[in-house]
Structure 1
Amino acid sequence: MLVERQGLAIWFQKMKNVKFIKKYGHLVYVSKKMKYAILYVDMEEVDEIMNSLKKLPYIRNVEVSSKPYIKTEFESVKAEDEKEYDYKMGI
């Protein structure tokens, strides 16, 4: 059974606080230079986890990823006005 997941971008103050963030979900990436982490959580628990993370004193900001809401199916439609060029025309 596949569970739908949502990404959270979490900005924190110090690197030692990353170990406390791990218990809220699946930690995927941590940037030491910019001090943020990417955490994946279940879709149903996003609001609860986001509110509990914002209450922590060492968290500066929490943002939700918009990836699940972006259309990822693309259509390959040729434009009707697209012209076929004859490259030997000028010779």
Structure 2
Amino acid sequence: MFTERTGIIVWVSDVKAAAKHLEKYGNVHFISKKLHYAAMYVYASRLDDTVKQLQKLPFVKKVERSYRNEIKTEYSSNMPDKTRFYTL
């Protein structure tokens, strides 16, 4: 039902040009005027092609991909609960 997306950070030299042109490559989530970067989501199946196209743009300094979807988010507690030792 949902298409798989991945996040990328695009470091730019011109924020106005980034705001205008990055919409055609994916969903722009946030643009930082102070730190000169844009956080955006692109389709995971077209990630490599999109990164290559973004790196060719004149106002783009660097493109970094997010590893958030590869981080384990389900935790198991193998340690016993110590809260009963600290209660009065």
Bin for the TM-score computed over the shorter chain: 0.7 to 0.9
Q: Which consecutive residues of structure 1, in runs of 5 or more, have no partner in the other structure?
A: none
Letter aligned with residue 76 of structure 2: E
Length-normalised TM-score, structure 2: 0.87
CA distance in 2, matches of 1:51, 1:9: 14
Q: Report how many residues are paired.
A: 87
Deviations 1:48-84 (A, max 9, x none): 000110011110000000011111111122249x6x6
Q: Which residue of 2 aligns with 1:52?
A: 53
Give 4+ residue runs of structure 1 displaced > 4 Å after superposition. Answer: none
Q: How does 1:1-91 map to 2 (within 5 A)?
A: 1-17=1-17, 18-79=19-80, 85=85
Give the secondary structure class of the aligned counterpart of 2:73. Answer: coil
Give the secondary structure class of the aligned counterpart of 2:40. Answer: strand
Share of identical aligned residues, percent?
Answer: 35
Q: Which consecutive residues of structure 2, in runs of 5 or more, have no partner in the other structure?
A: none
CA distance in 2, matches of 1:16, 1:32: 9
Length-normalised TM-score, structure 1: 0.84
CA distance in 2, matches of 1:22, 1:38: 11
Letter aligned with residue 79 of structure 2: K
